[in-house]
Structure 1
Amino acid sequence: MDNILNKSKDIKDWLIKVRRDFHICPELGMEEFKTSEKICNLLDEMGIEYQRGVANTGVVGLIKGAEKGKTVALRADMDALPILEKNDVSYKSKVDGKMHACGHDAHMTILLGTAKILNEIKGDIKGNIKLIFQPAEETVGGAQPMIEAGVMENPKVDAIFGLHVAPEIPVGKIGIKYDKMNASSDTLNIKILGESTHGAYPQSGIDSIMITAQVINALQSIVSRNISPVDSAVVSLGTINGGTQHNIIANSVQIRGTLRTLTPKTREMALSRIQNIVEGIPRTLGGRGEFIREEGYAALINHDDMVDLVKHNGEKLLGEENIIIINEPSLGVEDFAYFLNKAKGAYYRLGCRNEENGIIYDGHHDRFNIDEDCLPIGVAMQVSNVIKFLK
């Protein structure tokens, strides 16, 4: 473990250079063409074989050990966000209105650093390592298209690990979560239909706004009355539009919202209740309700034995006192979940916070940044995870 950590620290300057190069030139989801080219150039320098253009801009590298064995995959997301950076740093984004505000520049760098070390010691490795550089985590979700393109096959992936920089955790520590870590998501599109008439004569029409009020109240009862208090779910309605003028009974109202759940069972139950409410209440009041679901990401559920492996490696590398057990799942989403549906694995948090240096802002903030000391720690963790699993 000391040797792995030392090797990772030895390439710290290289890691910082690579990360800042990514940070200066951010690209949005499915537009990561220059980012992809930089990754391929670095893999060429290392002599690692790869396939590019997977699911549009994705890259998949492969390191073959000296002997046949299992295959472990590591994943890094590539895309940036449509945010104007306000950090005053030498490596500030040069692309107006775009910024690596969620640490994906660090994720790619850590995966490349991990590849660099593993490639140097591949003669001592039994098995294979796949390097998955995934596009569009922030937008359309590049994980599922990459899986459909076959990245978990040929050779078949037996386990997969991923990490995310964590501005809530001090640098030098990691956060691990057993079982349910991130929620699933669904976009809710609801339309309530009535019949317009003059506002002075409401009896002549069907008031879609009044019906909508009843529907909204009923939807809020799903979490409080249909889901166990020890489970977690969220039904949030973000937009509502209806009506044309103050003295006209509205003939239609449109609502958009989001559903977040932690288990497939709760997800299906909540969707069924939403459908029943949206269609049933308007019918009893003389109107009509329509519900269209846009399926989002699946819930991210870690495999406990793989979390144990990460925990063991973290304790050996960083010390038991630097391992944080996360007790509560996040209702945010992460499409690494799709990889975990195909192979066992674990997703964990890598501390990058440094209050003394003002590195305190959450992801998706225009002043988000990382303490770059986290880069060699991330590399050492991922190298250790690969070696431990393959052994």
Structure 2
Amino acid sequence: MALLDQEILKEAITLKEEMVSNRRHIHENPELGMDLPNTSLFVENKLKEMGYTDVKRVGEYGLTATVGKGDGKVFLLRADMDALPIIEDNELAYKSKIEGRMHACGHDMHTTMLLGAAKILKKYEEQIPGIIKFMFQPGEEVMKGAADMIKNGILENPRPDAGLMIHVMPGLPLDIGTVISAEAGPMMASVDWFDISIKGKGGHGSMPYTAIDPVVPMNAIQNALHTLQSRELPPNAITAITVTGIHGCETSNVIPDNVSMGGTIRSYNEEHRQLIKHRMVEISEHIAKAFRCEATVEFPAGAPYFDNSKEVADHIKKALPQYLGKMYMPPMPMDVPAMGSEDFAYISHEIPSSVMMIAASDLRKGGVYGVHHPKLVLDEECMPYGAAAYVGVALSWLEDNQ
């Protein structure tokens, strides 16, 4: 497949204008969570235009299709499609048309790059030594989409033998489009969202003695949670407990009946993860009771740590330079563990899977905003390289594992 190796990136570059158009349409029309009717339909129609006749819904808005021939090995390629509830703060001609929603994590690019890969693969279908399966996923930001697609059969008929995801990485001092692979082993933390609600008795701000103020135990709970890492976990525990919002009464002279607090727990150790959740419930309930209130704790969403397969990671390091040349970079050493999370982690615990990052803005040229920031601007020049990386890894893995 040497000739094909050399042609893939050229093919991807010829699709740049089409990819830019697709990406901007998705960027202008962001949808949230598991509810992606328009995005899913857009992707479905694009796949059908390419000649895919087996496009199927997986769950309500997840999509899959396959390309290739025969009964050989199956490689899974995944892109997430959902946006974030963020107000976009830039002057792009194609900024979000929907107030309060923004593709601030690059999922519009992930989807576009996988559509580009699908078009290239359809052209070379007769040369694919196996089957490549696409996974267009909703609900990554709410940590529900991958689990829902597993429940609805994404890993069946046919069952993938290995898988890959790509994520944009802004703010690196690298050429736009540089693709970076990851070392084997745990490489993204588990995550659990938490919601703590405190019920008291509201009243007038001038007479707190006639009320049961839920704000007081909420403050005590927040402070106590930060002692879990310093007092109840070993010093080498890699965890992060972050309170990201406290919600109560919206006027200054009223003591509310109820207040709530939310945030996330991150960990690389399943025992630590479960201990934190258990202790969070105990701390909240007992502190609330001490102040004559009631506490409820819920964990509405979560995902395990990402288990980066040695088999797939080693293959990427060997194979991808043939497709990308100098635009491939081996794993970069990390001084600080990555505490970000990814619900493709559910897939990684089912089949050998790996993740690659792609440089999508240049720190040397003002690309200073990271993902989830309202001023994030990503460079569309990266997309052909992402599409070529999807294709290159899948094709070469199938060729090596016939």
TM bucket normalised to smaller: 0.7 to 0.9
Correspondence for 1:61 among 61, 65, 69: 65
For 1:19-58, what aligned pairs fall within 5 Å after superposition?
19-58=23-62
Correspondence for 1:173 among 178, 201, 206: 178
- d(CA) in 1 for partners of 2:235 and 2:169? 28
- The AA in structure 2 aligned to 1:220 is H
Residue 272 of structure 1 pairs with residue 278 of structure 2: yes
SS at match of 2:55: strand
Query: What TM-score do the two structures reach when normalised by structure 2?
Result: 0.82
- The AA in structure 2 aligned to 1:93 is S
Query: What TM-score do the two structures reach when normalised by structure 1?
Result: 0.84
- The AA in structure 1 aligned to 2:169 is A
Partner of 1:98: 101
Partner of 1:9: 13
Max Rg structure: 1
- The AA in structure 2 aligned to 1:27 is E
For 1:165-204, what aligned pairs fall within 5 Å after superposition?
165-169=168-172, 170=174, 171-178=176-183, 179-190=185-196
SS at match of 1:374: helix
User: Aligned-pair distance for 1:239?
Assistant: 1.8
- d(CA) in 1 for partners of 2:37 and 2:213? 51
Q: Is the 8 A contact 1:173 1:323 kept in 2?
A: no
User: Aligned-pair distance for 1:160?
Assistant: 1.1
Provide the identity percentage: 34
Any unmatched runs of 5+ in structure 1?
A: none
User: Aligned-pair distance for 1:385?
Assistant: 1.0
For 1:137-156, what aligned pairs fall within 5 Å after superposition?
137-139=140-142, 141-156=144-159
SS at match of 1:161: strand
Partner of 2:167: 164
Partner of 1:322: 329
Which sits farther off after the overlay, 231-240 or 332-341?
A: 231-240
Partner of 1:337: 345
Residue 380 of structure 1 pairs with residue 388 of structure 2: yes
Residue 390 of structure 1 pairs with residue 386 of structure 2: no
Correspondence for 1:369 among 346, 362, 377: 377
Residue 235 of structure 1 pairs with residue 241 of structure 2: yes
The structure in which a higher percent of residues are strand is 1
- d(CA) in 2 for partners of 1:19 and 1:252? 42
User: Aligned-pair distance for 1:378?
Assistant: 0.5
Residue 70 of structure 1 pairs with residue 73 of structure 2: yes
Alignment deviations for residues 23-61 of structure 1 (CA, whole Å, 9 cap, x no partner): 233333344222222222221222113334432222211
Q: 1:92 to 1:252 in 2, by over 3 A?
A: closer
- d(CA) in 2 for partners of 1:115 and 1:201? 63
Q: 1:306 to 1:245 in 2, by over 3 A?
A: same
Q: Is the 8 A contact 2:171 2:362 kept in 1?
A: no
SS at match of 2:54: strand
Q: Could you say what the CA RMSD is over the residues aligned between the two structures, in angstroms?
A: 3.4
Any unmatched runs of 5+ in structure 2?
A: none
User: Aligned-pair distance for 1:235?
Assistant: 2.2
Partner of 1:131: 134
